[in-house]
Amino acid sequence: MKQVLTLLLLILSCFAGFGSDKHTYVYNIAGSDTLRLDFYKALTETPAPVVVFAFGGGFKGGERDNKEYIPMFEYLSDNGVSVASIDYRTLLKSVPPQILMSPDGFKASLIAAIDTAVTDLLRATSYIDANSAKLNIDPKQIFTLGSSAGAITVLQAEYDICNSAVSLPSFGLPAEFNYAGVISMAGAVYAEGFPHLDTVPCPILLFHGDADSVVPFDKAVLGDFGLWGSNTLAGILSEKTIPHRFHRVNGASHEIATRPMTEDRGEILDFIRAVCNFEAGNIVNTVESTPGLTDYRTDFTILDYIKSNL
């Protein structure tokens, strides 16, 4: 009986560790902020792809270890993809509401917050790249995945890389570095004027609802400045025949910032595998609708987005 119990405990301990090999590392110290990442290691012998995850929270808050995200991390690690869920600085939390209520104040504060988050993402990426052997990841298969503010961050990082708006060597990354793929759940990029791409981006998977009142599905413009959402970005990529996938959800609002992590995680894993197997050369547009749902608002202005983010 004692031998049976011992064997049972060993079996249970093995199952308890499956998919939950998590370690926390400090990847940078920025002033008074100690920035960490939680690394969920894929149970593979060969170097694995890795997804760098950026949480949502309107650049005001959010947690890398939010319990809502953990099942997605474990799903990926169980299926051979490591995950690094990172801290990044959230600058809007210290901006007074009266400044954010002004369009010019909102613009300046938002740009600073996005640029800071991009800086932290690139520093985390550099840490992962430099420690690829220790982490058992393939440095040529580094993906990003973001939710809401995190989705803006990962898209903006790729946009800046493609337009040489960041110096990658200053972050400790090779000058020719690019991500293997970007996955955005309700994201956008900021640009002065209509967005442009000087070089071809990596494959991109976009999720967005066309009734999103928090992050623009199409665009929110203030003079020459604009927040350009997934619909605009997919149109640019399609016009240039750049491989991407766009999953549009008609009638959905900002729940698409997290919903794909439960309802569409198979699509996310398929995208990652397709990129790793050099099979992501197509343009795929998916439109999801609720039958009978037609009466909903989509004509949000920049002021609507400002109010939603106060």
pLDDT at 16 over 60: no
- Both structure tokens of 302: 């920049």
* Number of neighbouring beta carbons within 10 Å of residue 143: 26
**Cα separations (Å) of 47 from 41, 124, 187, 278?**
10, 18, 29, 17
- Band (10; pLDDT cuts 50, 70, 90): very low
CA atoms within 13 A on the CB side of 217: 22
Instruction: Look at residue 84 and tell me whether its pLDDT is greater than 90.
Output: yes
**Is the four-CA dihedral 160, 163, 164, 169 of positive or negative sign?**
positive
Residue 155: both structure tokens together: 């898209």
* Nearest-angstrom CA–CA distance, 139 and 78: 20
Cβ within 8 Å of residue 106, ≥6 positions away:
99, 100, 306, 309
pLDDT, average across residues 141-148: 98
Does residue 12 have a pLDDT over 80?
no
Q: What proportion of the chain, given as a percentage, has pLDDT over 90?
A: 82
Distance CA 218, CA 231 (A): 5
Position 108 pLDDT exceeds 50 = yes
In this prediction, residue 43 carries a pLDDT of 87
Place of tokens 């690019």: 178
CB burial string 255-287: b at 16+ within 10 A, e below: ebbbbbbeebeebbbebbebbbeeebeeeeeee
The model's pTM is: 0.92
Question: What pLDDT, on the 0 to 100 scale, is given for residue 203?
Answer: 97
pLDDT at 281: 87
Evaluate if residue 258 carries a pLDDT over 60. yes
Question: How much is the mean pLDDT over the chain?
Answer: 91
Of the candidates 142, 19, 144, the one whose C-alpha atom is nearest the C-alpha of residue 75 is 19
Q: pLDDT at position 178, please?
A: 98
Q: Give the residue among 285, 294, 289 at the shortest CA–CA distance from 250.
A: 289
- Cα dihedral across residues 142, 149, 152, 288: positive or negative: positive
pLDDT digits (tens, 9 = 90+) for 284-305: 999 999 788 888 888 887 777 8
